[in-house]
Amino acid sequence: MKYFLPIILLLFATASCKQEKEKATEPVTSKVELQHGSDGYQLLVDGAPFYIQGAGLEFGSIPELAKHGGNAFRTWRTDNGQRSGKAVLDEAQAHGLKVMMGIEVARERHGFDYNDTAAVRRQLEDIRQQVMELKDHPALIIWGIGNELNLRATNPKVWDAVNEISKMIHSIDTNHLTTTSLAGISKELVDDIKERAPDLDLLSVQMYADIVNLPAYIDSCGWDGAYLVTEWGATGHWEVPLTEWGAPVENNSTDKARFYKERFLTAIDSQREQCVGSFVFLWGQKQERTPTWYGVYLEDGSSTASVDVMHYLWNGSWPENQSPAIDSVRLNGQRPGENIYLKAGSSYPAAAWTTDPDNDAITYKWYIMKESTDLGDGGDLESVPEVLEGYITTAQQAAVEMRVPEETGAYRLFIDRKS
């Protein structure tokens, strides 16, 4: 039986009574080119057109991506701390996937000073060694020079450094393209890139709910070259309503899947004259505000409805077994985002109304977490709040009784559905 999961989140506050094994390959370099013709821009890999149907993937399943019809993935660094870049490329090659290999470039918001010429030079030489090690691998197609270097940055010399890195790469690797991934886009930013980093082969942009406006932004910014969308997906935690106590209200998994489909068709697939592909975020799971916000998989490896949608978008047909859909959910009769205040230590009803596209039986798992207080910036590492055990006091079904923790504070109620 195949399992699919999630997810519903209810935010509430308590108050007092007052309130695979890796496989090596022999390197045979692929030749990657960017062609501009009457129909617009097109990537060519070994002379054949290649439209990127990809995902951001660091610790997620490469075989699952291939199974669902993806043809590429991007990383954020050449060594993710668990596996080397070569090991990642080898597994990609074994499953017929191509890779935009990320290169970690220091960020101003983390304290790096781009006026420090010696530090910039050391960084360039370190990156040279990374490129030399991986440049001939057949799974490689693009070098991603840094990620969101513009985020909370003020020194435009970062783009001078990016340009020098790109020039260095092109001097030792004539087979692959270079890009840098931007957090959003503006005319000022595009003008800086044009002036200071002209060696880049194409631009990469990362947007979430606002991606529906990306075609208009590309036009108004005067970018007439090729571009990629290297992160897109769920509505960002900075783009949603907040509760009265400042917690962002997460969309449920069914709404997320609908947004994935709408955003891809509206802002990515319709722009093929300039947009040569995209990488959905995130093929895997991570903690960012919640453990379910951005990943299309759960921590136990179970897939969500967003995987079903990406399968459809990449293949033109739905997977054999789809995730259950959530129609509605209530906690003490209230919907998510309705500023739910509950009395500490008291019990309240919670219920979910769900359907399954395949008419499979659905099982449920409800659990409570404290609202996260370890809030990173720009995807920085966050710790996962612990699951509070013993507060679902009835059998795990579509309707349950929940006892509120004694400690006054902000909490989230999650429900996983499997079929």
Which residues is 73 bridged to in the sheet?
55, 99
Which of 100, 235, 236 has its CA nearest to residue 180? 100
Section 188-205 average pLDDT:
99
In sign, the C-alpha dihedral spanning 301, 264, 213, 177 is: positive
Section 219-234 average pLDDT:
98
Which DSSP helix (H) or strand (E) runs through 309? Answer: helix 305-315
Section 232-249 average pLDDT:
98
Integer Cα distance of 50 and 43 in angstroms: 5
Q: Is 9 left (phi over 0), alpha (psi -120 to 50) or beta?
A: beta
Section 224-249 average pLDDT:
98
pLDDT at 13 over 70: no
Section 37-53 average pLDDT:
98
Q: What share of the chain is helix, strand, coil (3-state, %, to 5)?
A: 25, 30, 45
Domains of the chain by start residue, with CATH = 32-323 (3.20.20.80), 326-418 (2.60.40)
pLDDT score at 22? 46
pLDDT at 19 over 50: no
Report residue 108: phi and psi, to 5°. -60, -35
pLDDT at 3 over 70: no
pLDDT score at 10? 65
117 CB contacts (<8 Å, ≥6 apart)? Answer: none
Section 108-124 average pLDDT:
98
pLDDT at 251 over 80: yes
Centroid of chain to Cα 135: 25
Tokens found for residue 232: 């897109």
pLDDT score at 5? 38
Show contacts of 59-63: CB within 8 Å, 24+ apart: 59/284, 60/282, 60/283, 60/284, 60/285, 60/295, 60/297, 61/283, 61/284, 61/297, 61/301, 62/20, 62/88, 62/91, 62/92, 62/95, 62/97, 63/20, 63/95
Integer angstrom CA distances of residue 28 from 62, 93, 139: 21, 11, 9
pLDDT score at 55? 99
Integer Cα distance of 5 and 302 in angstroms: 6
